[in-house]
A and B are shown apart, each in its own frame.
Chain A
Amino acid sequence: MIRTALLVAGKDLRVEARSRVLLWQVVPFGVMALLLSGLALGPQRAGRSDAAPGLFYLVVVLVALLMINRSQGIERAPGTRASIATLGLDPAGIYLGKVLALAVELWLSAVVLLAGAVLFLHTALHGTLLALPSVIETLAALAAAGTLYGALSAGAATATLLPLVALPAFAPLLIAGERSFVAALHGGALWEWWVIVTVALVAYLGVGILLYGVLEDS
């Protein structure tokens, strides 16, 4: 399973590295969205870091939706499904591989977006660095959930269906991520929110390992 996961993750990351879509399209879009969020707040409020964690995660979720679409799009390329079926790869391994690749892509995007938050929204650098472990974990949970919802909504109407089915499920993760970011910036109980994200991550990984095969078959 782990071997398959690494194989699939490597394949997805290589596709992403060669196409440069993440670098030249998704990340610039994220930075633009962050900048627009600051503009929407106005010059006075944009510099107040209490709004920054929420805006950061709002942009992250937009980026995540784009990347989930990309991740599933790779599987829909002609011949891909047939090749995977012929190879007889473990569906749980495929799921874990896709989660890993998506998580790596989100982590890379988050590095740029966190720098953008420090620059544009004036979040304290020390607090932002403190928030890094919780951001990493929240994004991993988003990747685990997003890969499942991406597979669920795969088909003709993915672009419009994915946000509808995935965003409500992302909401608890985003709230927990935002709260732990706020706690890292201003002090407060970090671990409570970590527990929620950890439970969600484990639950989604468990469901994905068990049921991704069902979605692959369909």
Chain B
Amino acid sequence: MKALVDRLLGPVTLVALAVTVWLGLWVTPPDVHQGNLARLVYVHPALAWVALYLSFGTATIASALYLWPRTRSEVLDRVAHCAMEVSVVFIALTLITGSIWGRPTWGVWWAWDARLTSTAVLGLLALGYLALRRATDDAHVRARRGAVYVLLAAINVPIVHFSVLWWKTLHQNATVFTADRHLLIHGIMAWTLLVSFVAFSLAFAWLLRARYRLEASRGAVADAVVERALDERRREGVV
């Protein structure tokens, strides 16, 4: 089953992304007010979903479980680390696509808007996590500090989510649902949006899996190097 998932995850992700591109660029109509610019709605919210909720959510759960003595394991630390790395990429893509949409709509690449600013702060927090992990060589210390840091950084996620409601600055409110769960997008546009969310969620899973395997291999190589050095020392002792 695991091997099947490994083999299929990549191709399925690519197909889902291709379907999103096809639906978004050729099947869906342009918006009445925004024209073709509205097609960014099939990319930007899905990227934000992965950046804020999937990546940070995964890292937060893995970190909380790592700190719990009964569930503590190296696997959880690696998952948190990899999820945060993926998060940095997706936060950057979210900000870039938002900026591309903002220039023609608001007239500026960047606005001091509550949603934009809080997302940028979240991106810097994620970068801080990567810097923090590089600051120490002790795997145990690195994992513990990283886990605490993720839990602290996660406080910012609800701030980003509710920023459009709390401060009512330039960024519009929720794009898909109203506050009372009323759907704002219909027909083929809604289906394309749904496909984009699935496609980018799969992309997250694929990247996370690939990054995790790389990290696990790196750990194995480091262990092997230490083991070989110890063997050499033992042999020197025997000789």
Measured between alpha carbons, how far is A172 from B159 in the docked complex, in Å? 9
How far apart are B175's CB and chain A's nearest CB, in angstroms? 24
Give how many A-B residue pairs fall within 8 Å (CB-CB): 67
| Chain B interface, number of residues (Cβ within 8 angstroms) | 28
Secondary structure at the B interface, as helix, strand, loop or mixed, is helix
Query: Is A92 in contact with chain B by the CB < 8 A criterion?
Result: no
Instruction: Choose, from B40-48, B135-143, B179-187, the stretch at the interface.
Output: B135-143
A207–B151 touching, CB < 8 Å? yes
Knowing A164-B127, A207-B152, A215-B148 are in contact, say whether A152-B141 is a contact too (CB < 8 A). Answer: no
Query: Is B210 in contact with chain A by the CB < 8 A criterion?
Result: no
Query: Is A63 in contact with chain B by the CB < 8 A criterion?
Result: no
By CB atoms of chain A within 10 A, which of B118, B132, B138 has the most? Answer: B132
Knowing A153-B132, A156-B135, A161-B131 are in contact, say whether A168-B125 is a contact too (CB < 8 A). Answer: yes
What mask results when residues 127 to 165 of chain B are scored 1 for a CB within 8 Å of chain A, else 0?
Answer: 111011001101011001101110111011001000000
Query: Is B67 in contact with chain A by the CB < 8 A criterion?
Result: yes
Query: Is B220 in contact with chain A by the CB < 8 A criterion?
Result: no
- CB neighbours (8 Å) of B152 from chain A are 145, 148-149, 152, 169, 204, 207
Which residues 184-218 of A sit at the B interface, judged by CB distance below 8 A?
Answer: 200, 203-204, 207, 211, 214-215, 217-218
**Which residue in A155, A200, A211 is a CB contact (below 8 Å) of B148?**
A211
Query: Is A171 in contact with chain B by the CB < 8 A criterion?
Result: yes
Binding site for A on B (CB under 8 A): 67, 117-118, 121-122, 124-125, 127-129, 131-132, 135-136, 138, 140-141, 144-145, 147-149, 151-153, 155-156, 159
List 7 other contacts, CB 8 Å, given A152-B152, A214-B144, A217-B144. Answer: A165-B131, A168-B156, A171-B117, A207-B148, A207-B151, A207-B152, A218-B138
